[in-house]
Homo-oligomer: A and B are copies of this chain.
């Protein structure tokens, strides 16, 4: 029941967000402990790992796009340093995404997207159907055109968490495989967490990075909990031969966006459903059917491939689709959550932002971290609703 090991920072949640924050914070000299009963087993385990900020988000969501582009830029050095420190490869590839279209409407949408990407000085190329198939011979004959986003990249999220778990002890950070059951609060400030085994991990600061569970953790004050909701994604892994696809392929099929991500070992990841089902992580017949139906239309040859894995994960969605990163209204409590579909893409940005916040260097930081901090502040959901003049807002202070 005793207090153990006063440390600097406790990170609640060992997904890609929490582990990345822990790694960067530990590298900056903080003593860090990550608490998670099963690190890397949540949304990160299910994720395909696309680093495709433009085609991933609708380009009307410019703040999110800016965050994604900033983090995409951080990925090569993040991956390189992580591989260097852990001795593990994370299968970071930057061979681009080919977005394909079947009908006239889809083609027009691709043209609009191409214009937009060019305005952002992103390297894109409009391809004919024939050029698409020359680039990716497994594509369906009915593909009429495509957009090659050469700057898009991807990683294997499972390898990233494995590398982070290997790198953490080298930076003196520990992982406690135990469930967190509550926040330890002293005089209104977060000063550690309680564990399911009765222990208390005392710390100067607590970073809540529990993904879809961040908003509803037992024993955390609701006033500072982020407004995240679980957005279920089901995903299927197939065993292909290396070279089956040369790059990520995606397209809108039956109104939903489907994609195929090739790994270095030949694995093909089919993703992903988006379902608002609460905390339901069952792989369902309907989810698989949707994935298979869409993937077959994009790349008919997938039918010949062996099914090597099925998973479902819960993305932490927020009301404005932006993550919640940084200091909260409660002293000592920071957030690294709400990444929705962008947890893997935004991991380097999240880690750098939180590390700067923990260092006390974020305020006025002119870099990407500083710019991101403003739009991602947890306080945006907990300020008094002055604009509406209503007294119905949640309080910004605990107790």
| A residues whose Cβ falls under 8 Å from a Cβ of B | 236, 238-239, 270, 282-286, 288-289, 292-293, 295-296, 302-307, 310
Contact = CB atoms under 8 A, between A and B. Distances in A.
Nearest to A239: B282
Contacts of A292: 285, 288-289, 292
Contacts of A238: 285
B310 A284 contact: no
B306 A284 contact: yes
B310 A285 contact: no
A293 B238 CA distance: 19
A240 to B, nearest CB: 10
A289 B292 CA distance: 6
5 contacts: A283-B306, A283-B307, A284-B306, A285-B302, A286-B303
Closest 5 CB pairs of A and B: A286-B303, A289-B292, A282-B306, A283-B307, A285-B302
A296 B302 contact: no
Contact of A305 (B270, B284, B307, B310): B284
A289 B306 contact: no
Contacts of A302: 285-286
A284 B282 CA distance: 20
A196 to B, nearest CB: 26
A304 B290 CA distance: 12
B286 A288 contact: no
Contacts of A306: 282-285
A307 B285 CA distance: 6
Contacts of A270: 285
Contacts of A293: 289, 293
